[in-house]
Amino acid sequence: MATELQSRTQPSPSRAASCGGILIENVSRTYARAGSRVEALDGVSLRASHGEVLAVVGPSGCGKTTLLELLCRLQPPDRGTIRCPPAALMPQRDLLLPWLSAVDNAALALRIAGVARAPARDRATALFAEVGLAGFEHVRPGELSGGMRQRVAFVRTLLSGKPVLCLDEPFGALDAITRSEMQEWLERTLAREARTVVLVTHDVEEAIVLADRVAVLSPRPGRVTAQLDVHIDRPRTRTDSAVIALREEALGALEAGRSR
C-alpha cells in the first residue's frame, strides 16, 4: 500500500498517477545548520510509474540524497507531496555492520523481516554468486574492497523485497568493467522482478543506459531543469549512437542549469 507524506497546503495528487509508482509534487526541503538555513530542494516535481527506472543526475550538493531520504521517509518534506510505496535505500556510504560477515550483512533486511537465519543466508548467498562475491560470504566488511562492500550493500537493498529501490550512487566505487557487469545484472534482475527504481548517479551515460527517464537537477537548491525520456531499445551500451546523442542533451541541460 502506498504511504503518503503530504503537507496541508498541497492538493492531493490523483490516485491514478501514483498507483504503484512514485509521485513527487512541488517538494521543497531546507535544513537548519548552525543558525543558518540550507535550501537543498526547491519545488521538485517528478514521477515514475510502477516498474520504471528514474535516474536523477545533478551537481554535488544539489539535494539528490535528500530526495532519496524523503522517498524512504527518513525525513519529511517542508512543502509538497510525496506518494511512494515502501522504499529501500542503498545509501551513498555502504553502512555495513563491521561485526557481521558479508553474507549476514546482506541478509540483514530479511532477518529484520523475520526470516530465519539459514534461509536468509541461502538467499543472500545465491545473489553473491551473481554479483561476483562467491567465496567472500564469511569475510567481514573491513576486509572487503570498496567495490565489494558496495555490492554487498546492493544485495542487501535488493533482498529487502520493497517495491521501490532508491539507489544512491550504487556503482560509484566500481571499476569500469565491474560497473558495466553490475548494470547488466541490475537490468536482468529488473526484467525478472519489476521494481520501481530511483537511481542517483553522477554518470550521465549510466543514467541513459539504465533509465526510462533522466531527471536533471540544477545546483543547490535542486530544481528539475530537464526530464529526458529514454526511448532506446534495451539492452543499451554507452557506445550506442542514440545513447551518445541523449548524453549530449543531458550534459547540455546540466550545463544550462549551472549557468542560470
Contact footprint for Mg ion (CB under 5 A): 64-65, 92
Q: Figure out which of the listed residues 220, 223, 236, 247 binds ligand ATP, where binding follows CB under 6 A.
A: 220
Q: CB under 8 Å to 67, separation ≥6 — which residues?
A: 24, 27, 41, 44, 56, 198, 200, 222
Give the one entry of ligand ATP, Mg ion, none that residue 85 binds, where binding means its C-beta sits below a cut-off of 5 to 8 angstroms depending on kind: none
Q: Which three cell numbers stand for residue 142?
A: 573491513
Q: Which three cell numbers stand for residue 166?
A: 532508491
State the minimum distance, in angstroms, from the CB of residue 61 to ligand ATP. 4
Q: Figure out which of the listed residues 13, 22, 25, 63 binds ligand ATP, where binding follows CB under 6 A.
A: 63
Closer CB to ligand ATP, residue 16 or residue 34?
34
Closer CB to Mg ion, residue 110 or residue 165?
165
Closer CB to ligand ATP, residue 15 or residue 93?
93
Residue appearing with cell numbers 503530504: 6
Give the one entry of Mg ion, ligand ATP, none that residue 141 binds, where binding means its C-beta sits below a cut-off of 5 to 8 angstroms depending on kind: none
Distances (CA, A) of 209 to 21, 177, 206: 21, 15, 5
CA angle, residues 50, 254, 56, in degrees to nearest 5: 20
State the minimum distance, in angstroms, from the CB of residue 116 to ligand ATP. 36
State the minimum distance, in angstroms, from the CB of residue 66 to Mg ion. 8
How many residues belong to the site for ligand ATP (CB under 6 A)? 13
Strand partners, 53: 197
Per DSSP, 141 falls in state: G
Give the one entry of Mg ion, ligand ATP, none that residue 6 binds, where binding means its C-beta sits below a cut-off of 5 to 8 angstroms depending on kind: none
Residues 133, 142 contacting (CB under 8 angstroms): no
Residues 152, 106 contacting (CB under 8 angstroms): yes
**According to the binding rule CB under 6 A, does residue 151 interact with ligand ATP?**
no
**According to the binding rule CB under 6 A, does residue 62 interact with ligand ATP?**
yes
**According to the binding rule CB under 6 A, does residue 31 interact with ligand ATP?**
yes
Q: Which three cell numbers stand for residue 193?
A: 522482478
Return the closest-CA partner of residue 160 out of 124, 198, 186. Answer: 124
State the minimum distance, in angstroms, from the CB of residue 29 to ligand ATP. 8
Give the x-and-dash track for 32-51 against ligand ATP (CB under 6 A): -x----x-x-----------
What is the Rg, in whole angstroms, of the alpha carbon atoms belonging to the chain?
18
**Under the rule (CB under 6 A), what is the footprint of ligand ATP?**
31, 33, 38, 40, 60-66, 92, 220
